[in-house]
Structures are given as structure tokens and as C-alpha cells.
Amino acid sequence: MAIYHDMKVYENFERSARRIFECVQDAQRRSPGARRYLYLDVQGHRNEAGGYDHDAFELMQEFTLGFLGDYLTEIHTPLCHARNPKRQRNDLPDVLRIHYPDDGSDYGYNASALPVKPRERHPADRKSPPTVKAIANYLGLEDPACLVCWRKPVERAHVVPIQLGGSMDVRNFALLCPAHHAEAPDVADAESFWAWVDYAELRDSPDKWLDAPDELKGRLQDLGVAIGVGEREPLTFFSAVKHELKALYGWTDGDFTVTDWAALMDEFHKVLEQATGRHFAVEKKVSTHAWAYHMARRRLNGTE
């Protein structure tokens, strides 16, 4: 069985590793013992030297070739092509557990300090934004289109806003349609921005086919693929924030009842003031508020 995964620019190591692992599990369920061939591509994820960043390199070398290699017959990545010298194992673990080394490595966002957390450690010292074409090339797009819904035209969206310390480096830009640009969070954490793009892409994936040829739409509908997300039920501002906290950050109904809201609101406003921004003259968005609530709760819980 051929398994293909394109590590999108908005996927970090953890999201990609879990998705690939689930694909291998599914392949084993569908065709027990069949030889499995993994093909991995990578969008973006370039470091300042032009090579692959930590997430992409770790996914290719440590995860696919290291941990997952025993459960595959052959692996193709942008860095190498490797064939398993032994017989492919089929006793996959039921659960993938990812542990981070206790060596001071910089994983995740430090909620206690509220720093700026860009992806690029040494951004290019440029004063003007890159062209849409340059951003599309970095993102691995042949034609500039919204990363969420594939619609056009697109706008250049800062991952970390300039007013929060974001740079003009090409790695600090996404391409979004005006509607999704207006929804995207303005926060100090690049990975949270990309996590939101990933969440919105999954949420709005039926919109990708709205501009497809009628013949393709017909074939997709015959296969049960939805075309367009349709009208969403209108929500109040806080209801929309609550929905995003549950859908993106994993909050449960219980989290909304046991929380000390007086303390949470105090921390929330500190986060909102110190680590979020506004997009031009637009008031702070649902996605920005959801991130701030989540960071405030992490600060109260002492979670790093």
C-alpha cells in the first residue's frame, strides 16, 4: 500500500507524526501484512540556512526513518530513499506517545513569560514584505491561493504581527483570502497561528471545491464529498470563542464550569495586552481571544 503525506507548512512535528502514524495504522487494518510504502513531501519548513527546520528534519530522520521505519517496507522523503533491510513489522502500537526531552529544549510557547515565539530564529533583516509569488514559492504553492479554502484573491498575512515583534522574513507570512485573513489570530506565537490555519483548513475544507469544474464536483459528490460548508449558525462573540476553545484547544464543558473566572479574566487581560495585537483597525478577533483565554488558563495552572 502506498501512503502519502505532504507536511504542510502549518503542520508541526507532532501533528504530522500523529497523522502519518494513523495512516499506517489504517493501512494495516485495511490490508493486514501488505507491504507499505511511505512517500513524504514537505511544504516550507525551511531554516535560515535554506535547509529544513527542526520539525521537518526530525519528522524525516527521527520519526519516519527511526521509529516508523520498522513498520514500513520503503520510505521516500526529500532527504533520502530507504528500504527496510528486514521484514516489515506489523505489530504497530495502539497509541503513539510523543515525549519531549528534558534538556532545556525550546518546545511550545512559554505562557509564563509571554514572549514572542516566531518560527524563524534569525529572520532576514528586510524592511519590506516579500512578494506574493515569493511567499507562494516558500509555501510550496504553484499558484498563490488561500491556505484554508484555496480561494482567490489572496492577501499576505503576518504569522506574528509586526507590532508584536514579527519580521518581514518570508517564513513569517501566510497566504489567506480576505475572509480567512480577517479571522486569523494576531498573537505572539507562530505555532498557534499555524495551528489555527490547520484547524480552519479542516473546518472549511468543503469550500476548496466551490470553484472546481462541474464535472469534478459531480464526481466528488458521487463519492460523498461535501461541496461548500453552507450557512453556519450565527453565534454570539463569546459563543464563538467557546466553540474555538473546544474545537482547537481541547477545552471541555467541565473546563467552563470549574474555572475560577475572576482569576482567569485577570490573566486573560494581561495576555491580551502583552501578547496579542489587532489587524489594522479591526477589533481583536474570536481566534485572538480564544488563544488569550487558553494562555491565561495555562498561566494559572502553571502549565508550560
The pLDDT value given to residue 23: 97
pLDDT of amino acid 282: 66
Non-local CB neighbours of 255 within 8 Å, separated by 6+ positions = 245, 297
- Between CA 41 and CA 200 the distance in angstroms is 21
**What value does the mean pLDDT take over residues 274-300?**
89
pLDDT-based confidence at residue 181 (cuts at 50, 70, 90): very high
pLDDT for res 50? 84
Contacts 24+ apart (CB under 8 A), 123-127: 123/48, 123/167, 123/168, 123/169, 123/171, 123/172, 124/48, 124/167, 124/168, 124/169, 124/170, 126/167, 126/168, 126/169, 127/168
| Residue 212 pLDDT | 84
Q: With 80 as the cut, is the pLDDT of residue 159 above it?
A: yes
User: What pLDDT does residue 211 have?
Assistant: 83
The structure's pTM equals 0.88
For range 188-216, the mean pLDDT: 91
pLDDT digits (tens, 9 = 90+) for 29-60: 999 999 999 999 999 999 888 899 999 999 99
C-alpha cell at 63: 520519526
> Burial of 2 by CB count in 10 Å (0-12 exposed, 13-18 middle, 19+ buried)?
exposed
Using the predicted structure, report yes or no on whether residue 188 has a pLDDT greater than 90: yes
pLDDT at 49: 84
> 71-83, pLDDT tens digit by residue?
999 999 999 999 9
Sign of CA dihedral 40, 181, 117, 139: positive
The one-letter amino acid code at 127 reads: K
Position 304 confidence tier, pLDDT thresholds 50, 70, 90: very low
Question: Average pLDDT, stretch 5-34?
Answer: 95
Question: In whole numbers, what is the pLDDT of the chain averaged over residues?
Answer: 91
Cell numbers at 194, concatenated: 499555524
Q: Which residue has the higher pLDDT, 57 or 304?
A: 57
Looking at the predicted structure, is the pLDDT value of residue 145 above 50?
A: yes
Residue with more model confidence, 87 or 105: 87
Cβ neighbours of residue 229 closer than 8 Å, sequence gap 6 or more: 203, 204, 206, 207
Tell me the average pLDDT across 241-261: 91
Pairing relationship of beta strands 81-83 and 155-158 according to DSSP bridges: unpaired
Higher pLDDT: 127 or 184? It is: 184
How confident is residue 105, by pLDDT bands cut at 50, 70 and 90?
Answer: low
Confidence of residue 104 (pLDDT cuts 50, 70, 90): low
Res 6 pLDDT > 50? yes
Q: Which of 222, 226, 185 is nearest to 205 (CA)?
A: 226
Asked if 286 and 239 count as a contact pair (C-beta separation under 8 A), the reply is no
Cis peptide leading into 153, omega within 30 of 0? yes
pLDDT of res. 11:
93
Residue 202: pLDDT over 50: yes
Closest CA to 199 of 4, 8, 5, 3: 8
Per the model's pLDDT, the better-predicted residue between 279 and 92 turns out to be 92
- Pick the range with the lowest mean pLDDT from 23-37, 174-188, 230-244: 230-244
Q: Write down the pLDDT at residue 36.
A: 97
List, in sequence order, every beta strand (DSSP E) within the chain.
Answer: 2-7, 37-42, 74-76, 81-83, 155-158, 173-176
Whether the predicted pLDDT of 279 surpasses 90: no
